[in-house]
Amino acid sequence: MTAVLRQMTTDDLPAVMKIERETFPHDAWSEGMLRSELDEQPRTRHYVVALVDEEIVGYAGLFAAGDQADVQTIAVLADRRRAGIGAALLTELLTEAVRRGAQSIFLEVRADNPDAQAMYERFGFGRLGLRRRYYEDGTDAITMKKDLNA
């Protein structure tokens, strides 16, 4: 299964919100939050969707300003995971961060999501710290960083 990536638009929000609510049931972003993120494209944001057979199966977003970038979000439909879509989305965000001149990139990942943690570690992210009870349901967040000059 090969995913095609393209820039996210407001027309994608119904499909993206479905994935958002399924992936993050306790702390899903609102549609208004995602609209605000899209309003900042391309100035400080870069959001993409992943399509398989014309269906949106995942999405990801980047914040980049100055020499730092942050992975805002990555989500893939549960039945499409472990097929390289998350890795393709992350690769796109890293490429864009470098293109924008970022020296390092940061993210938070749920402490109870070992699959996502493993993917980030495969991409060279290292653990920085822990944000206790960061998520709405009380789950901790692991903060991670990658040096983009390495």
The catalytic residue positions are 108, 120
Greatest CA span in the chain, whole angstroms? 40
109: exposed, middle or buried (Cβ count in 10 Å: 0-12, 13-18, 19+): buried
CB-CB neighbours of 121 under 10 Å: 14
Q: Tell the residue number behind the tokens 């893939």, with chain if given.
A: 76
